[in-house]
Amino acid sequence: MQFCPQQKKDTCRRLGRGAFSLVEAVLAIGIVSFAMLGVMGLIPVGLSTFRDAMSTTTQSEILSVITAEVLRTDASNLSATNYYFDERGIPVDGQGDQRRVFTASVAAPTDLSPMAAAQRVVIRISSRNQPSLTNTCSVILPKPVDSL
């Protein structure tokens, strides 16, 4: 019969030690808030980097579409023209379209040299959202047979 009072005493003692003290709780909240402050400061940088990566990906897709079209077209029929695309790289009707984000300018072919059997077409892609950033790419085309 003596075991009952002893068992009750140990149970009470264990219950009292199982909780966190106020000092421990305040320290834990302080550490977590300090870490969250750093994470919150990195969110704008991460979003900016994500936007730049999406823009670069879309511009590479636009470049791929235009390069394929330039390669399919006879070089003697190429002239300077503009193509317009939305934020996903899908062609839109024209410059006045509200969805237009990217403008791709294709320059008329120029000879690499008088003796070369190839021409160069310059493609410039600019963004309405970032007008200072323009990507330029050159595509080398064979000259038409009749101009050789």
Q: What is the pLDDT of residues 24-57, one digit of tens each?
A: 999 999 999 999 999 999 999 999 999 989 999 9
**If you average pLDDT over residues 3-11, what whole number do you get?**
56
Per-residue pLDDT, 33: 94
Global pTM reads 0.68
Q: With 90 as the cut, is the pLDDT of residue 22 above it?
A: yes
Residue 45 CA to residue 52 CA, distance in Å, equals 11
What are the domain boundaries of the chain? 3-147
Q: What is the pLDDT of residues 76-122, one digit of tens each?
A: 777 888 999 999 999 998 888 888 999 999 998 888 777 778 888 99
CB-neighbour burial class of residue 61 (10 A; exposed 0-12, middle 13-18, buried 19+): middle
CB-neighbour burial class of residue 85 (10 A; exposed 0-12, middle 13-18, buried 19+): buried
